[in-house]
Amino acid sequence: MTQKLHLSDPYLTQFEATITATRVRDGRPALVLDRTAFHPEGGGQPADRGTVGDSSVADVVEVEGEVLHVLGSGDAPPAGSRVACAVDWARRFDHMQQHHGQHLLSAAFQRLRGAATVSFHLGAEICTIDLDQPPASLPLEALAATEAEANRLVWADLPVEARERTPEELAALPLRKDATKGARIVVVGGPDEVVDASPCGGTHPRRTGEVGAVAVLRAQKWGAGTRVEFACGGRVLALLHQAEERLARASAVLRCAPPELVVAVGKLSEEGQRRRKELGLLLEALAAVEAERLAGIHPAGVPVPARLDGPLGSPAGLKAVAQALAARGRIALVGGVEGDRAHLCFARARGPGVNLGNLLRESVALLGGKGGGAPELAQGSGPDAARLDEALAAAASRAGVE
């Protein structure tokens, strides 16, 4: 069995080991060492990366008690059995910050809101915890207070001890969750006050201050509970720089200083709404003129099929023309192409008559798309724009136009 050095010293990154076996994992060589400082994936924490001899370690997994060091693509096992190994410290320390920050955040949620953490995921950019309470019980002010409490624990620079415990020690600890997979417990705080005690097989810093900071990013409903996204340590700085860059770019586009961005966006939104209303009125006026023209060139009492172009060929334009024709007592069967899709809109006055919802579903199938609606108004679209004229002709035929 491999001796797991990282459990007793998470800061160890350089060590020597003996290759005791070579396996195959997903088509790649995987080395078994007599001792390792590489943390295998598990408990929400991703595996370490690094090197064994001159070969790169692309993954580390534990399978049936063996820790497999999976080599990178194209790498071969080192020559000889005794090898020098190195763990990627930047990745390890990032994982230590995120993982221990999660412990502190989960402890804060438990203490302040009575919300228990049911799962944890350490992602490449952000981390998540799933809580057993719905978002309604965790409003913004509760998230802010919990974030502040987690950071208070960070900045208190409390001692952290992660090790195996005796049954007597376990019984004396205020465990946040039951120790079901061993007796290794991460304890935060001194002998006078234990701030948090939680079973964990991951890597953790010696003091909470090394987490740096905890930032709660957002919360959303997840099943019956709440998923909270957060970041810790160096990732907080990375997110801050990313946000600053985005603000600078947005400010440059709107030609304002970053502090003025909210006001500028508000004005832009108001102007956009006003222009959309104006365009809507213009489209309705244009549609009325087109409906009058189409009604004039088709005999009274028969449907009006037409292919429209320009703004009237858009879904909104088609609907405006179709409804204008329906208001004149006509059955409208109109279509157009926008982008790489063909669109259909059928409309008629309320009352007895052909079921346009059924008719449209049959017609839009020729376009390779879907659609439907009520007997008086139906819309749909499909990717086969070359068959638009065919679809309109088929609709006209089924509606009674030869």
Domain residue limits, the chain: 3-87, 93-241, 288-398
Running DSSP on this structure, what letter comes out for residue 385?
Answer: G
pTM (predicted TM-score)? 0.75
Element (H, E) at 89: helix 89-113
Q: Per residue in 216-256, pLDDT tens?
A: 999 999 999 999 999 999 999 999 999 999 999 999 998 99
Contact predicate 130/117, CB 8 Å? yes
Q: What is the pLDDT of residue 401?
A: 44
> Which fold would CATH assign to domain 3-87?
Elongation Factor Tu (Ef-tu); domain 3 (2.40.30)
Instruction: Name the CATH superfamily for 93-241.
Output: Threonyl-trna Synthetase; Chain A, domain 2 (3.30.980.10)
Q: What is the pLDDT of residue 402?
A: 37
> Does 57 have pLDDT greater than 90?
yes
Q: What is the pLDDT of residue 209?
A: 97
Candidates 41, 99, 94, 96; CA nearest to 68 is 41
**Dist. CA 319–CA 287, nearest whole Å:** 9
The dotted CATH code for 288-398 is 3.10.310.40
Segment 129-158 mean pLDDT: 97
Q: Per residue in 295-339, pLDDT tens?
A: 999 998 889 999 999 999 999 999 999 999 999 999 999 999 998
Q: Between the ranges 221-225, 255-259, 277-281, where is the mean pLDDT highest?
A: 221-225
Segment 163-183 mean pLDDT: 87
**Dist. CA 227–CA 229, nearest whole Å:** 7
Buried b (16+ CB within 10 A) or exposed e, 17-34: bebeeeeebeebbbbbbe
**Dist. CA 48–CA 166, nearest whole Å:** 29
> Does 9 have pLDDT greater than 60?
yes
Q: What is the pLDDT of residue 400?
A: 62
Q: State the DSSP string of 161-205.
A: EEEE--HHHHHHS--SS---S-SEEEEEE-SS-EEEEEE--S---
Q: What is the pLDDT of residue 69?
A: 96
Segment 23-50 mean pLDDT: 94
Q: What is the pLDDT of residue 64?
A: 87
Distance of CA 87 to the CA centre of its chain: 29
Task: Find tokens 């509970």 and name the residue.
Answer: 225
Helix (H, G, I), strand (E, B) or coil at 248: helix
Buried b (16+ CB within 10 A) or exposed e, 90-118: eebbbbbbbbbbbbbbbbbbbeebebbbe
Whole-Å CA distances, 358 to 223, 307, 395, 401 = 37, 20, 10, 17
